[in-house]
């Protein structure tokens, strides 16, 4: 079985209070894009065998996809194991849910291979035990995510042409949130307002309200993010924004031709991807 595991970007991100378990309550618009890993799964007699290609990653319990398989096997006392092979295309430590989406694919794949017949809510609850972004990755499309990311309100998918840059630097999500907590003043984007703009199909307002409360923190310790965002702005995008805790930055363009031209120029100096938004059906196709 082969599953396409799609990346996401945050069209806006508002960080709220810190919980006692270290997580933060958030409001964010998560959006699937057509950049994906390919996760291949096959039943085996026992154990978990994980291999990866494309990007060097640990292939043991340090890998979130391995953890997902481990949880599924133990939780449902499966009489057998699983072979997993991941073709990595999504950059890691980028704020694109590259690990979470692989874990989501493993959870969904094992559900089908072993005939567990779990519904989306069941799968999302399992995913939440692995990581805060996994529930969205199980669903895909466009959603207003709240709580720590597990409370998802589906939204219509805006058709956006995007150029995505992954700078050479990476950032630890944990460190970024710790630095955020140390700030005296915080930026609080109008995520709900952007959700309303998406529902109304007002793409101009969607771009106007695109903002990320973590961006200034990551930029402070990763100047490459500042440079990448400036490059996107200089290339003529409507808005440029960091995704998640970074370090990936993306620009939204007025049409696919403007995006294609920007991609042609930016790929000379950056690891660059020309992508577009996809809806829930496409993310699960």
- How many CA atoms lie less than 13 Å away from 249 in the CB half-sphere? 27
DSSP state of 91: P
Residue 96, marked binder: yes
Contacts of residue 70, Cβ cutoff 8 Å, sequence gap at least 6: 48, 61
Contact 37, 122 (CB under 8 A): no
Identify the residue whose tokens are 């994980």.
Answer: 50
Residue 157, marked binder: no
Residue 91, marked binder: yes
> Exactly one of 37, 102, 133, 279 is catalytic; which is it?
133
Structure tokens given for 279? 């809806």
Q: How far is CA 243 from CA 148, 184, 212, in A?
A: 16, 22, 8
Residue 100, marked binder: yes
Backbone torsions φ then ψ of 188, nearest 5 degrees: -125, 90
Structure tokens given for 36? 């994906």
CB count, 10 Å around CB of 214? 27
Q: Please confirm, yes or no, whether 8 is among the known catalytic residues.
A: yes
> Exactly one of 4, 8, 67, 108 is catalytic; which is it?
8
Residue 95, marked binder: yes
Residue 113, marked binder: no
- How many CA atoms lie less than 13 Å away from 202 in the CB half-sphere? 12
Residue 282, marked binder: no
CA 125 vs. chain centroid, Å, equals 18
Structure tokens given for 110? 């094992």
Residue 28, marked binder: no
Q: Please confirm, yes or no, whether 139 is among the known catalytic residues.
A: no
Residue 98, marked binder: yes
Could you list the residues known to form a binding site, using ranges.
Answer: 91-101
Catalytic residues: 8, 133
Could you list the residues known to form a binding site for ATP, using ranges.
Answer: 91-101
């Amino acid at each position: 079985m082969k599953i396409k595991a799609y990346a996401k970007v945050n069209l806006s991100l508002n960080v709220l209070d810190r919980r006692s378990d270290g997580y933060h309550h958030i409001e964010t618009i998560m959006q699937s894009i057509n950049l994906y890993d390919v996760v291949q799964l096959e039943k085996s007699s026992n154990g978990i065998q994980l291999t990866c290609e494309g990007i060097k990653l640990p292939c043991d319990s340090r890998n979130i996809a391995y953890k997902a398989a481990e949880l599924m096997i133990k939780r449902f006392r499966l009489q057998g194991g699983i072979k997993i092979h991941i073709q990595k295309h999504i950059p890691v430590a980028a704020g694109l849910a590259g690990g979470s989406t692989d874990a989501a694919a493993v959870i969904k794949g094992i559900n089908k291979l072993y005939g567990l017949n779990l519904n989306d809510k069941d799968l999302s609850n399992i995913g939440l035990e692995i990581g805060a972004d996994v529930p969205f990755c199980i669903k895909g499309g466009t959603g207003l995510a709240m709580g720590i990311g597990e409370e998802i309100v589906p939204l219509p998918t805006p058709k956006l042409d995007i150029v995505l840059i992954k700078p050479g630097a990476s950032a630890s999500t944990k460190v970024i949130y710790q630095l955020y907590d140390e700030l005296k003043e915080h930026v609080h984007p109008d995520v709900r307002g952007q959700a309303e703009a998406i529902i109304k199909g007002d793409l101009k307002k969607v771009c106007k309200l695109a903002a990320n409360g973590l961006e200034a923190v990551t930029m402070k310790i990763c100047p490459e993010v500042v440079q990448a965002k400036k490059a996107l702005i200089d290339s003529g995008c409507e808005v440029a924004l960091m995704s998640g805790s970074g370090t990936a930055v993306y620009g939204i363009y007025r049409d696919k031709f403007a995006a294609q031209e920007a991609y042609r120029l930016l790929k000379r100096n950056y690891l660059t991807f020309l992508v577009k938004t996809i809806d829930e059906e496409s993310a699960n196709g």
